[in-house]
Structure 1
Amino acid sequence: MEVIPPASGRRELKSFVLLYGLMYAAFGVASPFWPRFFEERGVAPAELGMLLAMGTAVRLVSGPIAGGIADRFDARVKTLAICTGLSALFALSLLRADGLLLLLAGSLGQAAVLAPVTTLADALASRHGTKAPGPATGRFEYGWVRGAGSAAFVAGTLIAGQVVSATGLGSVVVLHAGLLLAAALVTSLLIQDEREPMEWTEAGTAAAADLRVLLQLPLFRRLLLVAALVLGSHAMHDAFAVIRWNAAGIGPGLASVLWSLSVASEVVVFWLIGPRLLARAGPAGAAAIAVAAGVLRWIVMAISADPLALAVVQPLHGLTFALLHLACMRLLVRVVPVRLAATGQAIYAFAAASATGLMTLAAGSLYAHFGAHAFFAMAGLCAAALPLTAGLRERERI
């Protein structure tokens, strides 16, 4: 692993914190209001469902493709800058779009270029992490910058609510695009890739070979399976938690507090608890803790909607998501060859997103038939992942 001078490490930390803050603030601004924006533009509910589903499908395809291109041309920073800038332009195009076809074109265009943004940023930030962050090494924990992103997401959501109330939904698009453009500019502060790019035909031929290299790594395959099971188990919560709470008499105000507890715990784990747990328990131990927390969280949600019980288990999100993500980032850095860093991140994101999509489809049927007891199925997914965590032992990077 290359040594970064302390001063350089501090500059990189500031640059990544700024980058993640802008990126995730942009996501937080848009996330709650994106469906309402399309609805206001005349998109019917059935059409909105189709539009969102197609966007998910496009993201699943474009993420790995962009990651592969960035790796083959050793241009991760440049690809990140281009994708972030284009996503802002596509967002702005929605303001002028009139009719479903133009809205669909703009939305799918943005989905395609926005999908690689987080995976490329993670590939860059995680490889600057170390087991011994601090002034002496010039290194920093990946969790520090990812935690800054989560905090910025919350701030962006809160700010967007005030802006929408004052100026309308169109302002959210402008704010979202402005933050993405600023993030694209910040990429110029990151260490640039230096290797000579290969020819396009050579890169295209090697893409399938790169994928085979990664999938032949047993630890990488195990990591993908654990992440798919545990992160996919969140689908029931994301789709039906508030519906479940509302049916139990929990109003919007308390529901928002409960939801905020999970996001706040995510920030705390990324910044404080997670790096320490990861250092003491290693990726395998940290993943086991995350999986066990998932089993407990979903069982409680299956059997109780008592606000006190929910207030206790909602912060477990910091373990079921943030701690597991930190463990996966550590393993990806160690097991994935440096030249395939972006591709590895993209496949990891693809596995998690695919599992979440499939579990979301299953969640509707499960909840319709079993109600709150459908959360037992999510606990079962985590339980299935528990024996797999023992094999997530750290190995030296290739």
Structure 2
Amino acid sequence: MISASDDRRILAGHLALFVALYAGYGALSPFLPLFLDRRGLSAQEIVWLLAMATLVRMIAGPLAGRIADGRGRVRPILAGAAALAGLAAIAHLAVSGFAALLVVGLAYAMLTAPLAPFSDALALSASENGRRFAYGWVRGAGSAAFILATSLVGWLVAGFGIGAAIFVGGGLFAVAGLAAWVLPNGTVPSAENPTQRRGVSVVLANRRFRRVVLAASLVMGAHALHDAFAVILWSRNGISAGIAGLLWSEAVAAEILVFLVAGPWILARLEPGRAIALAAGAGALRWGIAAESVTLPALVAIQCLHGLTFALLHLACLKEIARCVPPDLTATALTLYGPLGLGLSSAVFTLASGPLFASFGASGFWVMSAASLAAVPLAMGLARNDPSHSDAGVHR
């Protein structure tokens, strides 16, 4: 039996990990392209570097997940990768020129690939065993830390230069590594039979897992047009940069609210498949309105839906993955779901968004609405087949 003090200790450990990790992302990610620009890279070189980093993450994430699951070493590998990612981040300050920055950038991409999925795997395992610990609490704290770090580092950059973002981000990744290393002991089971050692193939053969990834890829990918061109569209329609910033902050606030409160409440009442369908329906509504109106009241209303289209989707997908994938393959599944599945979807939808916006402007959001709507029947298919009625990991 886990005591209340054990629950608090476990929760505090995971909060420290998620806050440090997402603060590190918030400190570094928004400012890395500017740093590369200040180092003299051309726009084309920056695009190539970032694109190749994405490719490396898509390969390194599942590979790291399989190694961690096969050896039952999720926490130590997470701690080591986070600490080394911090060093790789700071190494950006010591080099210049495209070739050197590419080497450092790819090392940084490889080391950061498993950080979020492994943190999720540990938090999911701990929350299943603790009585007063919900995964959404620590993930919501991470989102809040990301925004706070981005804001504070913006001030530091203004006062001390762009290098401050790299240094602070690298330091926070190192802190995340320490937080992972000292986490209270939890269990992410290791492989116990030869079949489960074929981690990637077993997970990919799982029909329910493939359905989750496809549904999530459609809903998350549909954010691409908004992420790339919303501020440009708003600016063309008379919305100032200050108001645009507030609209983005509103979306993040809705995300945090769902992670902390609304999401766990919804998932206590809906099966994960139905919750994914709800997120997909919210996406179809959100992008449909975005296609037809750029008035401020409409934008304020639809930014609130980000809590459903992102946070609820994430919570529901992770809950469904935990139900349908063998526990000893959690890290493998989450790296396939995140860096590979959602990463590939984001890249494809982002590439499509440029021609869409150039040709149709705001009306291009109808394509994103249709993509979200296409995820609804996939999600409802999950809801019609409860995995508790069959052996987990054998859903063909």
Gaps of 5+ in 2: none
Runs of 4+ residues over 6 Å off in structure 1? 193-198
Q: How does 1:149-164 map to 2 (within 5 A)?
A: 149-164=142-157
CA contact (8 A) 1:71 1:341 kept: yes
Gaps of 5+ in 1: none
- Aligned pair 1:23/2:21, yes or no? yes
For 1:271, which of 260, 274, 277 is the aligned residue?
A: 260
Q: Which secondary structure state, in structure 1, belongs to the residue aligned with residue 44 of structure 2? A: helix
For 2:135, which of 125, 139, 142 is the aligned residue?
A: 142
**Rounded Cα–Cα distance in structure 1 between residues aligned with 2:241 and 2:309:** 24
**Rounded Cα–Cα distance in structure 2 between residues aligned with 1:229 and 1:245:** 24
The AA in structure 2 aligned to 1:63 is: G
- Displacement of 1:376 in angstroms is 0.4
For 1:395, which of 370, 387, 390 is the aligned residue?
A: 387
- Displacement of 1:236 in angstroms is 0.9
**Rounded Cα–Cα distance in structure 2 between residues aligned with 1:56 and 1:102:** 18
- Displacement of 1:211 in angstroms is 1.8
- Percent of aligned positions with the same letter in both sequences? 41
- Displacement of 1:31 in angstroms is 2.1
- Displacement of 1:139 in angstroms is 4.1
Partner of 1:180: 173
- Aligned pair 1:241/2:239, yes or no? no
Partner of 1:78: 76
- Displacement of 1:278 in angstroms is 0.7
CA contact (8 A) 1:293 1:320 kept: yes
- Displacement of 1:243 in angstroms is 1.1
CA contact (8 A) 1:164 1:171 kept: yes
**Rounded Cα–Cα distance in structure 1 between residues aligned with 2:205 and 2:2:** 31
The AA in structure 2 aligned to 1:222 is: R
The AA in structure 1 aligned to 2:316 is: A
- Displacement of 1:181 in angstroms is 0.7
CA contact (8 A) 1:128 1:139 kept: no
**TM-score (norm. length: structure 2):** 0.93
For 2:220, which of 204, 209, 231 is the aligned residue?
A: 231
Change (3 A) 1:379 1:105: same
- Greater displacement, 261-270 / 214-223: 214-223
User: Alpha-carbon deviations, 1:37-73, whole Å to 9, x = none?
Assistant: 1100101111111111111111111110111110011
**Rounded Cα–Cα distance in structure 2 between residues aligned with 1:369 and 1:260:** 29
User: Alpha-carbon deviations, 1:217-259, whole Å to 9, x = none?
Assistant: 2211111111111011111111111111111111111111111
**TM-score (norm. length: structure 1):** 0.93
**Rounded Cα–Cα distance in structure 2 between residues aligned with 1:372 and 1:74:** 48
Partner of 1:338: 327
- Displacement of 1:192 in angstroms is 4.3
CA contact (8 A) 1:35 1:48 kept: yes
CA contact (8 A) 1:88 1:180 kept: yes
Partner of 2:364: 374
The AA in structure 2 aligned to 1:329 is: L
For 2:281, which of 289, 292, 297 is the aligned residue?
A: 292
Change (3 A) 1:151 1:193: closer
Q: Which secondary structure state, in structure 1, belongs to the residue aligned with residue 305 of structure 2? A: helix
The AA in structure 1 aligned to 2:58 is: L
Q: Which secondary structure state, in structure 2, belongs to the residue aligned with residue 63 of structure 1? A: helix
Change (3 A) 1:194 1:359: closer
The AA in structure 1 aligned to 2:253 is: A
Considering only aligned residues, what root-mean-square deviation do their CA atoms show, in Å? 2.0
**Rounded Cα–Cα distance in structure 1 between residues aligned with 2:206 and 2:168:** 42
- Displacement of 1:194 in angstroms is 7.6
